[in-house]
């Protein structure tokens, strides 16, 4: 098996569990494989397909994913094809004929096609050795990506009782796993569950305040490297992509609302490294097998942990260090809840809210994020420090929190153990908001008692208290805080409590990780250019020629002959024959010119990359509007001077705030009663859309007023 692995895929060793799974498949047993994205699931059926005598049938949900897999297999010398709606009828007939003649090793099909009786009859004519169900969680209504067409696959065991079946997924809770096994009738299947700990992925959560400069700074760390930025709405993807272009970045927007050909073009350009940043809704990525994505950023936090884990799984699939950053503000909760409230089925709506609450818990953690994620998927992280999340990587500075903790616990008790975190913070900071006054909590002794902590700092401390069991947060749509027995005892004691100081968002340098190698960056860039030219000549994505990991090894070891070059990871027989000479010649020439001797290739650990500090580049938006705001000019007057509509100026202000500008906008506020009333409307319906708030007030406020209040709430 290792000979086949090296010959076709260029690897010397299997990843964890791959060999056991492959042996089970070769023995013609059914298998269920739960392995994180980037863990090497595809190889678990691709390698047996080469070994087995007949054809392997692979059910896959997306056209792009099929094409990606087939391109890679062909580049490795494996006869592979796909049948889907992107092909003409004469092309499908030709593929069917070749499949009957046993001239194809792996055939990819969509689940919809399997439902057609004529196609089932065609499959019965083939010598099928193995059936693989990729993205198997799609068959479960409990999964985060349920697809009704997958339910047709429950006929597979009846139609092909003697053919071994392998079901594979990257994200499945215990409930979903059992449902997959039941739906596919895999009663005797052997289950393989790989660790969900992707050690090469660094995960972090940063505050979504002055978000765009932080995003620019992040992207700047990965110049010319592949980046995916996930946004909440189609409009947001286009705005972020345009703003990145304004700052000189090569970005494209991708969402389901784009015309099909344009969407396909953006995806092709990204796969072929002609644009390196995709700004997308979650419609993007499931069909992408691009191994060299170095950064995945969520500009708005996702609605489920399953979706989040699958999306960050698109980073670092080649095993190299990659970064996953979530921008978090509790205010974005309203965006998600607006859509959750549209769900008519009570049970489904409750499930959606519970899944959203899990994401909120994750974002507000003060303990290891990897440990929380793995526990959600039924795995315990045995290490005390994961060394790959912002919590574990941040050097903790402690402070004496005794006094502030007692103030917080007192506020929870005095307000009746029945209000949420933000309400408690409003009371402590002395904010005379309508709700606090209505409850007469502005008369409490704890009202306005905190002067030396910000709302964010208080929020962090409350998170610590929840984690340490001094207070607890209830479940449900609107979680409330209550004091625990431990908290009550502390309040009455003279004990001292130290807590970590608030974490500062660090986005100005790359994280170094243990798998990094100190390769020659000049040679690496030369090899990337050659790879791109060869990719264009062969009409395949660059990573199909060689992965970044292969090029980095070449730029570290400087292999100058055939024997050494063959030892580079990812160099299989066919790739060596097709591309070996040109890469060896380039490496040898570079080595001679720079007087560099080749290094012996072995398995010894290699020292880490040294990374340099990156300067933050802040973009400037709407300079004229900004200058007029400084002079305290009204919005109507600013609009008149620039020959614009007032709502356009309000949009300028929104962009200025997002770009990190510090603006004094207090003078723009509406009369207090009108402002607070509109604010209450946004708190009720969320701030993603103006129409629900407009209709709620029966037109009492015009759209410009609503838009202005929404902007001022962010400042």
How far is the C-alpha of 273 from the C-alpha of 323, rounded, in Å? Answer: 19
DSSP 98-144: HHHTT--SEEEE-HHHHTSHHHHHHHHTS-EEEEEETTGGGG-TTST
The SS3 call for residue 634 is coil
Reply yes or no on domain 201-393 having CATH 3.40.50.300. Answer: yes
Which residues of the chain are in CATH 1.10.10.10 domains?
398-500
CATH number for the domain whose boundaries are 398-500: 1.10.10.10
28 forms beta bridges with none
Beta strands in 416-529 (DSSP E): 471-473, 481-483, 498-500
Mean pLDDT, residues 180-191 taken together: 90
Encoded tokens for 102: 């046993």
Which of 116-125, 207-216, 689-698 comes out lowest in average pLDDT? 689-698
Strands 277-280 and 398-400: unpaired
* DSSP annotation of 7: I
582 has pLDDT over 80 = yes
* Residue of 677, 671, 697 whose CA lies nearest to 433: 677
How far is the C-alpha of 79 from the C-alpha of 98, rounded, in Å? Answer: 10
The SS3 call for residue 166 is strand
State residue 664's pLDDT score: 78
User: Are 294 and 282 contacting, i.e. CB atoms less than 8 angstroms apart?
Assistant: no
Dihedral over Cα of 169, 173, 177, 180: its sign = negative
DSSP 441-460: GGGSTTTT---SS-HHHHHH
How far is the C-alpha of 697 from the C-alpha of 678, rounded, in Å? Answer: 9
Which of 275-289, 337-351, 442-456, 550-564 comes out lowest in average pLDDT? 275-289
State residue 513's pLDDT score: 46
Which residues of the chain are in CATH 1.10.150.80 domains?
521-593
65 has pLDDT over 90 = no
Mean pLDDT, residues 195-207 taken together: 89
Which of 51-55, 64-68, 177-181, 189-193 comes out lowest in average pLDDT? 64-68
620 has pLDDT over 90 = no
Where is mean pLDDT largest: 48-57, 264-273, 274-283, 700-709? 48-57
Higher pLDDT, 152 or 424: 424
Confidence of residue 688 (pLDDT cuts 50, 70, 90): low
Fold exhibited by the domain 2-193? Rossmann fold (3.40.50)
Mean pLDDT, residues 560-583 taken together: 88
Integer Rg of the chain from CA? 28
State residue 507's pLDDT score: 52
Which residues of the chain are in CATH 1.10.10.1390 domains?
623-714
The residue assigned the tokens 């678990």 is: 44
* DSSP annotation of 288: -
22 forms beta bridges with none
CATH number for the domain whose boundaries are 623-714: 1.10.10.1390
What are the pLDDT digits (tens) for 386-442? 889 988 887 667 789 999 999 999 999 999 999 988 899 989 999 877 888 889 999
Strand order of the sheet with strand 55-59?
80-83, 106-109, 55-59, 128-133, 165-169, 31-34, 190-193
Which residues of the chain are in CATH 3.40.50.300 domains?
2-193, 201-393
pTM of this structure: 0.63
Encoded tokens for 225: 């490297």
State residue 301's pLDDT score: 92
* Residue of 348, 354, 289 whose CA lies nearest to 135: 289
Encoded tokens for 204: 């972090």
Encoded tokens for 647: 């709502």
Which of 297-306, 379-388, 489-498 comes out lowest in average pLDDT? 379-388
Which of 73-87, 380-394, 565-579, 644-658 comes out lowest in average pLDDT? 644-658
Backbone dihedral angles phi then psi of residue 603, each to the nearest 5 degrees: -100, 15
Other beta carbons less than 10 A from residue 666's beta carbon: 9
613 has pLDDT over 60 = no
Strands 251-254 and 277-280: parallel
382 has pLDDT over 90 = no
450 has pLDDT over 70 = yes
Confidence of residue 686 (pLDDT cuts 50, 70, 90): low
Backbone dihedral angles phi then psi of residue 298, each to the nearest 5 degrees: -100, 105
How far is the C-alpha of 428 from the C-alpha of 450, rounded, in Å? Answer: 5
Top-level class of domain 521-593: mainly alpha
């Amino acid at each position: 098996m290792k000979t086949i692995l090296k010959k076709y895929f260029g690897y010397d060793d299997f990843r964890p569990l791959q060999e056991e799974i492959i042996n089970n498949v070769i023995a013609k047993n059914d298998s269920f494989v739960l392995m994180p994205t980037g863990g090497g699931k595809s190889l678990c059926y691709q390698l047996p397909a080469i070994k087995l005598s007949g054809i392997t049938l692979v059910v896959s949900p997306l056209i792009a994913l099929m094409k990606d897999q087939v391109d890679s297999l062909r580049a490795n010398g494996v006869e592979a094809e796909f049948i889907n709606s992107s092909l003409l009828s004469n092309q499908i007939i030709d593929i069917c004929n070749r499949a009957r003649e046993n001239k194809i090793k792996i055939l990819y099909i969509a689940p919809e096609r399997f439902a057609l009786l004529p196609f089932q009859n065609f499959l019965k004519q083939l010598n099928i050795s193995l059936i693989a169900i990729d993205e198997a969680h799609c068959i479960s209504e409990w999964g985060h990506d349920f697809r009704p067409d997958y339910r047709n696959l429950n006929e597979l065991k009846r139609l092909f009782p003697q053919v071994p079946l392998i079901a594979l997924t990257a994200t499945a809770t215990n409930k979903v796993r059992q449902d997959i096994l039941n739906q596919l009738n895999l009663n005797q299947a052997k289950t393989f569950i790989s660790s969900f700990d992707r050690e090469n992925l660094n995960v972090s959560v940063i505050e979504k305040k002055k978000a765009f400069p932080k995003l620019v700074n992040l992207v700047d760390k990965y110049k010319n490297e592949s980046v995916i930025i996930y946004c909440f709405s189609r409009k947001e993807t286009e705005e972020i992509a345009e703003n990145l272009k304004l700052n000189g970045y090569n970005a494209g927007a991708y969402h389901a609302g784009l015309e099909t050909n344009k969407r396909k073009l953006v995806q092709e350009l990204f796969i072929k490294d002609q644009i390196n940043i995709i700004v997308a809704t979650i419609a993007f990525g499931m069909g992408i097998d691009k191994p060299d994505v170095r950064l995945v950023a969520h500009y708005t936090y996702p609605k489920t942990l399953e979706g989040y884990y699958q999306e960050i799984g698109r980073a670092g699939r080649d095993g190299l260090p990659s970064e996953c950053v979530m921008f978090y503000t509790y205010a974005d909760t309203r965006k998600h809840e607006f859509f959750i409230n549209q769900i008519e089925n009570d049970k489904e709506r409750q499930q959606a809210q519970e899944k959203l609450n899990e994401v909120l818990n994750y974002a507000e953690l003060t303990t290891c994020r990897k440990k929380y994620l793995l526990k959600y998927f039924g795995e315990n992280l045995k290490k005390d420090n994961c060394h790959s999340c912002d919590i574990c990587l941040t050097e903790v500075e402690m402070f004496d929190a005794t006094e502030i903790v007692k103030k917080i616990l007192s506020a929870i008790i005095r307000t009746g153990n029945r209000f949420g975190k933000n309400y408690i913070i409003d009371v402590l900071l002395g904010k005379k908001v309508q709700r606090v006054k209505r409850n007469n909590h502005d008369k409490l002794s704890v009202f306005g008692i905190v002067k030396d902590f910000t709302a964010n700092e208080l929020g962090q401390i409350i998170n610590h208290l929840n984690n340490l069991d001094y207070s607890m947060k209830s479940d449900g749509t609107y979680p409330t805080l209550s004091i625990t027995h431990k908290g009550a005892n502390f309040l009455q004691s003279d004990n001292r409590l130290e807590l970590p100081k608030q974490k500062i968002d660090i986005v100005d340098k790359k994280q170094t990780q243990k798998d990094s190698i100190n390769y020659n960056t000049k040679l690496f860039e030369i090899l990337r250019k050659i790879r791109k030219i060869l990719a264009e000549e062969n009409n395949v994505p660059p990573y199909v020629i060689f992965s970044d990991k292969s090029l980095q090894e070449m730029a570290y070891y400087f292999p100058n002959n055939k024997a050494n070059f063959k030892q580079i990871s990812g160099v299989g027989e066919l790739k060596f024959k097709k591309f070996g000479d040109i890469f060896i010649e380039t490496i040898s020439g570079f080595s001679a010119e720079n007087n560099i001797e080749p290094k012996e290739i072995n398995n010894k650990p290699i020292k880490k990359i040294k990374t340099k500090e990156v300067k933050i580049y802040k973009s400037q938006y709407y300079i004229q509007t900004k200058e007029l705001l400084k002079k305290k000019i009204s919005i109507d007057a600013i609009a008149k001077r620039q020959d614009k509509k007032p709502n356009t100026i309000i949009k300028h202000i929104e962009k200025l705030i997002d770009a990190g500008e510090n603006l004094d906008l207090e003078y723009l506020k509406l009369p207090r009663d009108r402002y607070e009333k509109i604010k209450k409307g946004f708190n009720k319906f969320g701030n993603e859309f103006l129409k629900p708030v407009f209709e709620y007030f029966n037109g009492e406020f015009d759209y410009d007023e609503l838009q202005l209040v929404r902007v001022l709430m962010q400042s």
